[in-house]
Amino acid sequence: MSAQRVAIVTGAARGIGAGVAKRLASDGMAVAVLDLDAAHSQVVVDEITAAGGTALAVGADVSDEASVAAAVELVAEQLGAPTVLVNNAGIIRDNMLFKMSVDDWDAVMGVHLRGAFLLARATQSFMVKEKFGRIVNLSSTSAQGNRGQVNYSAAKAGMQGFTKTLALELGKFGVTANAIAPGFIETEMTHATAERMGVAFEDFEKAVASQTAVNRIGQPEDIAHTASYLCSAGAGFVSGQVIYVSGGPAD
């Protein structure tokens, strides 16, 4: 039997990341549940271990170079060489362009783009050495443009170019890189958006569902299922792709 694969899922203390971490663990991987919120990462780890899986809570800020280096070193030491990476950590700092601060622009770029870059750079040597790797980056339907999200949509479009270049550079080492672009998924992020808009979540949900082909909003498990496929050994000929998981065609 081959050694257990080790995955790092960022922003995995809740929402989509927690869903992906649990799914990869049930697929048989040892999973590093990496998040700023280390205490809540531990809750996810406890759920995984209670279900018979292997996981480690790692507190780290993906936008900080030293924090990422220390986190990857810890994972390699405690779980083994990380050859699966899901760059999921994310924040929103929505505002119309004329009101957007430089801090809100930089914070969003820092977590999504700088974070994904730092994690990919810190883990690629393990993947190249093992001649196997799977990188999945979280983009969004907002990459196509979304009012009030000039920072976030630019970051999520950036994730797509980043993914395609990783695929080109790392393919010959057995490493694939793909992006998932979710539509509207029920998480604390989208609950917070509803609250900020002064709309009850149920009304928001109904409005979004009525404009979605499958007539519902998404759940973290919908994204976890796609991540599971892209991280599987059998998906080695799928690389540089952006999969819209949004309940309908593209966005």
Note the residues at the interface with ligand NAD (CB under 6 A).
10-11, 13-17, 35-37, 61-63, 88-91, 111, 138, 140, 182, 184-185, 187-190
Smallest gap, in angstroms, from Cβ of residue 163 to ligand NAD? 13
Token digits of residue 16: 């989509």
Query: Is 104 or 130 the residue whose CB approaches ligand NAD more closely?
Result: 104
Decide whether 11 or 158 has the Cβ nearer to ligand NAD.
11
Residue whose CB is less far from ligand NAD, 132 or 187? 187
CB atoms under 10 Å from CB of 219, counted, come to 14
Rg value, the chain, Cα = 17
SS3 91: coil
Provide the minimum distance between the beta carbon of 110 and ligand NAD in the complex, in angstroms, as a whole number.
7
User: At closest approach, how far in Å is the CB of 107 from ligand NAD?
Assistant: 9
Q: Residue 174 CB, nearest distance to ligand NAD (Å)? A: 26
Min dist. Cβ of residue 74 to ligand NAD (A): 14
Active site residues: 152
Residues 6 or more apart whose CB falls under 8 angstroms from that of 9 comprise: 17, 20, 21, 24, 31, 32, 33, 34, 86, 88
| CA nearest to 40, candidates 9, 63, 18 | 18
Q: Name which of 95, 73, 91 is nearest 82 in CA terms.
A: 73
Which residue is it, tokens 């900080």? 64
The pair of three-digit structure tokens given for residue 151, joined into one six-digit string? 């920072």
Closest to ligand NAD by CB, 124 vs 141, is 141
Nearer to ligand NAD, 44 or 79 (CB): 44
- The C-alpha atoms of residue 131 and residue 71 are separated, in whole angstroms, by 22
* Cα separation, 29 vs 247, whole angstroms: 28
